[in-house]
């Protein structure tokens, strides 16, 4: 037993610092399935209340969709619960292969490879493809998992200001003579601001400087772009983005699973050398079966993403008219700005009492003085839900003096 | 010379790293530990100094501690300039 009192004390002090900085994560218990109308126990121990969920990544409303749960059940019944193996030993069913092919086709790429999560996909990819002869140029607001992946890799690295193509070009110019390969790394949609990376201009620069482009489209796959293929489709550059990483854990059913889609050599290298792929269990059959159904659903029609787009526009317009300050954009991620962290958190707490479940974000998750509530729309929201949310925002906003 | 050098470094950092002009930047503002300069892009500050001043810093010398404020950068850079002479 070396977990001495001194060690315990040390860890407790660290936790106290986390708490004092206002960063302690207090999990709220959901006592229902994921969806628009959920039952939440908060504060802990209080009587669970019915609220409308406006903070899930359930963009297409597929997390508890009857077709999806039915497909999961079918997968469970026909192919069992788990694989008890990594992919290359005895963890690959024919369905894993079918799903990879379907996703590749959906994203317009040669091939795709599944991971347990997009975090794992991002942790795997850089180390496999790049070394000290190469340079990775990343947007400064990329997701934590991309940062960790880049850290695991021996390539040289530099970053550019968020979505700033002028700054990116300077960096490309500077690094061009010093690199074998350059790869630009960005999120497709930045999840805290709900804005898009300018992939058309990034693709132009990539061509001009002979760089590759990797886009993490986790907050876009399934609904951004005319047919939901993601940010590259929105900018008309599907064939000019080399590698896409994305998740099954948000719009595409929301269970778990990550994807890398791109040239066949890339997926093959990952199958042979990607550490989170080689040394972690295969995605279980119920999820694979359900994900196949999800790909059907998002390929067959654009109904869900169209409704989501309508919902996002409707919510933005109403909130704008009510006098709230939003980060302008066209995604279903709608940051309502309060500046002050306490105000954002007070708003969120009072909104929950009004039956609207949203979360306040403050420093260091977002820059100092830019505290906000991030509202996320879903195709499962009906107009009445959105009206109710806006009414609650107006009521609480007036009470706290945010709007008049 | 020294003041000029300090001004140059401050200006470069302001231009390269600050998101908006309202942010305050002083000689002793923590750069890396505060997150103003992320460790990934510290390299461009190092390259800038090397090219601008004709010096070469090893990775050990250009540590995150040495680069954590304009003052500490100046200490390192002056040492390298003196070695050059
Ligand atoms: C941009 C981005 N990449 C990757 C991830 C991680 O995805 P997963 O939940 O599949 O690990 C997330 C989720 O938070 C994300 O927002």
| Integer Cα distance of A82 and A404 in angstroms | 55
Of A390, A377, A218, residue with least CA distance to A312: A377
Rounded to the nearest angstrom, the distance between the alpha carbon of A114 and the centre of ligand 1 is: 14
CA A329 from chain centre, in angstroms, equals 17
Return the percentage of chain B with pLDDT > 90, whole number: 28
Q: How many residues does chain A have?
A: 404
| Integer Cα distance of B33 and A148 in angstroms | 18
CB atoms A367 and B19 under 8 Å: yes
Do A324 and A403 touch, CB atoms closer than 8 A?
Answer: yes
Whether chain B has a CB inside 8 Å of the CB on A147: the answer is yes
Q: Does residue A159 have an active-site annotation?
A: no
Q: Could you tell me which chain B residue has the CA closest to the CA of A162?
A: B19
What does the block give as tokens for A34? Answer: 């994921």
Strand segments (E) across A208-359: 212-216, 243-247, 258-262, 333-339, 356-357
- Give the residue, B36 or A86, on which the prediction is more confident: A86
| Integer Cα distance of A297 and A71 in angstroms | 12
Ligand 1 nearest atom to the CA of residue A258, by list position: 10
Interface with A, mutate which of B32, B40, B47 (most A CBs under 10 A)? B40
Beta bridge partners of A189: A196
Beta bridge partners of B33: none
The radius of gyration of chain B from alpha carbons, rounded to an integer in Å, stands at 12
**Other C-beta atoms within 10 Å of A187: how many?**
26
Among the listed residues A96, A219, A370, A385, the single catalytic one is A219
**Extents of the domains making up chain B:** 2-18+27-84
Contacts of A138 in chain B (CB under 8 A): 40
Burial class of residue A334 in the structure, from the number of CB atoms within 10 Å of its CB (0-12 exposed, 13-18 middle, 19+ buried):
buried
Which of A122, A188, A195, A247 should be mutated for ligand 1, with most atoms under 8 A from CB?
A247
Which of A147, A156, A162 is the closest to B43 by Cβ? Answer: A156
Look at residue A25 in the predicted model and tell me its pLDDT.
87
Output the CA torsion sign for A360, A306, A111, A210: negative
What does the block give as tokens for A337? Answer: 């700005």
Of A150, A122, A123, A147, residue with least CA distance to A134: A150
Of A133, A150, A124, A118, residue with least CA distance to A269: A124
Rounded to the nearest angstrom, the distance between the alpha carbon of A118 and the centre of ligand 1 is: 5
What does the block give as tokens for B47? Answer: 């390259």
Nearest CA to ligand 1 atom 12: A218
| Integer Cα distance of A76 and A335 in angstroms | 38
Q: Could you tell me which chain B residue has the CA closest to the CA of A138?
A: B40
For chain B, the average pLDDT equals 87
Whether chain A has a CB inside 8 Å of the CB on B43: the answer is yes
CA A333 from chain centre, in angstroms, equals 11
Query: Which residues, 6 or more positions from A307, have their beta carbon under 8 angstroms from its beta carbon?
Result: A379
Which of A55, A113, A143 should be mutated for ligand 1, with most atoms under 8 A from CB?
A143
Nearest CA to ligand 1 atom 13: A218
CATH of B2-18+27-84, one of 1.10.1200.10, 3.30.300.30, 1.10.10.10, 3.40.50.300: 1.10.1200.10
pLDDT digits (tens, 9 = 90+) for A265-295: 999 999 999 999 999 999 999 999 999 999 9
CA dihedral A219, B34, B61, B50 (to 10 degrees): 70
CB atoms A158 and B40 under 8 Å: yes
Domains of chain A: 23-53+302-399 (3.90.1150.10), 66-300 (3.40.640.10)
Look at residue A325 in the predicted model and tell me its pLDDT.
97
Contacts of B40 in chain A (CB under 8 A): 138, 147, 150, 157-159
Look at residue B36 in the predicted model and tell me its pLDDT.
84
Ligand 1 environment, Cβ below 6 A: A 117-119, 122, 143, 145, 187, 191, 216, 218-219, 247, 249, 258
ipTM of the assembly? 0.84
Rounded to the nearest angstrom, the distance between the alpha carbon of B14 and the centre of ligand 1 is: 31
Contacts of B44 in chain A (CB under 8 A): 158, 171, 174
Query: Which residues, 6 or more positions from A381, have their beta carbon under 8 angstroms from its beta carbon?
Result: A36, A52, A54, A61, A311
Each of the 404 residues of chain A gets a pLDDT tens digit; together they read 789 999 999 999 999 999 988 888 888 999 999 999 999 998 888 999 999 999 999 999 999 999 999 999 999 999 999 999 999 999 999 999 999 999 999 999 999 999 999 999 999 999 999 999 999 999 999 999 999 999 999 999 999 999 999 999 999 999 999 999 999 999 999 999 999 999 999 999 999 999 999 999 999 999 999 999 999 999 999 999 999 999 999 999 999 999 999 999 999 999 999 999 999 999 999 999 999 999 999 999 999 999 999 999 999 999 999 999 999 999 999 999 999 999 999 999 999 999 999 999 998 888 888 999 999 999 999 999 999 999 999 999 999 999 98
Look at residue B1 in the predicted model and tell me its pLDDT.
53
**Other C-beta atoms within 10 Å of A373: how many?**
24
Please state the φ and ψ torsions of residue A188, each to the nearest 5 degrees.
-75, -50
pTM of structure: 0.94
Look at residue B35 in the predicted model and tell me its pLDDT.
79
CA dihedral A203, A208, A214, A216 (to 10 degrees): -30
Do A364 and A373 touch, CB atoms closer than 8 A?
Answer: no
Query: What one-character-per-residue DSSP string does A9-78 give?
Result: HHHHHHHHHHHHTT----PPEE-S-SSSEEEEE-STTSPPEEEEE-S-S-TTS-TT-HHHHHHHHHHHHH
């Amino acid at each position: 037993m070396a977990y001495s009192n001194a060690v315990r004390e040390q860890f407790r002090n660290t936790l106290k610092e986390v708490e004092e900085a206002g960063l302690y994560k207090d999990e709220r218990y959901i006592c229902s399935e994921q969806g628009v109308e959920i039952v939440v126990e908060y504060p802990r121990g209080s009587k669970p209340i019915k609220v409308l969920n406006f903070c899930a990544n359930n963009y297409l409303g597929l997390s508890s969709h009857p077709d999806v749960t039915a497909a999961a059940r079918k997968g469970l019944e026909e192919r069992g619960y788990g694989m008890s193996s990594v992919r290359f030993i005895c963890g690959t069913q024919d369905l894993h292969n079918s799903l990879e092919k379907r996703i590749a086709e959906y994203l317009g790429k040669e091939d795709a490879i599944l991971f347990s999560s997009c975090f794992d996909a991002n942790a795997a990819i850089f180390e496999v493809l790049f070394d000290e002869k190469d340079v990775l140029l990343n947007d400064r607001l990329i997701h934590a998992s991309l940062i960790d992946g880049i850290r695991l890799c021996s390539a040289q690295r530099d970053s550019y200001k968020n979505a700033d193509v002028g700054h990116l070009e300077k960096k490309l110019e500077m690094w061009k003579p010093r690199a074998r390969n350059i790869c630009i790394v960005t999120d497709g949609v930045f999840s805290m601001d709900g804005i898009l990376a300018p992939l058309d201009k990034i693709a132009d620069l990539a061509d001009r400087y002979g760089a590759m482009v990797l886009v993490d489209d986790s907050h876009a796959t399934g609904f951004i772009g005319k047919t939901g293929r993601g940010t590259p489709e929105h900018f008309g550059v599907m064939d000019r983005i080399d590698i896409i990483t994305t998740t099954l854990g948000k719009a595409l059913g929301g269970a778990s699973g990550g994807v890398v889609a791109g040239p066949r050599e890339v997926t093959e290298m990952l199958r042979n050398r990607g550490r989170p792929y080689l040394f972690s269990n295969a995605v279980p059959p119920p999820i694979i079966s359900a994900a196949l159904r999800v790909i059907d659903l998002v390929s067959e029609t654009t109904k869900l993403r169209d409704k989501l787009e309508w919902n996002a526009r409707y919510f933005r317009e109403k909130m704008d008219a009510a006098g709230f300050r939003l980060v302008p954009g066209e995604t279903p991620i709608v940051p309502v700005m309060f500046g002050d962290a306490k105000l954002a958190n007070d708003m969120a707490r009072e909104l929950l009492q009004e039956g609207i479940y949203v979360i306040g974000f403050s420093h260091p998750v977002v820059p100092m003085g830019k505290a906000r509530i991030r509202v996320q729309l879903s195709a499962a929201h009906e107009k009445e839900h959105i009206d109710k949310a806006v009414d609650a925002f107006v009521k609480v906003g007036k009470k706290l003096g945010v709007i008049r | 010379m020294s003041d000029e050098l300090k001004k140059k470094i401050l200006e470069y950092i302001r231009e390269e790293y600050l998101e908006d002009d309202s942010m305050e930047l002083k000689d002793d503002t923590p750069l890396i530990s505060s997150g103003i300069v992320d460790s990934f892009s510290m390299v461009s500050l190092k390259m800038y100094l090397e090219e601008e001043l004709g010096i070469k810093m090893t990775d050990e010398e250009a540590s995150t501690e040495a680069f954590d404020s304009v003052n500490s950068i100046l200490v390192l850079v002056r040492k390298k300039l003196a070695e050059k002479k």
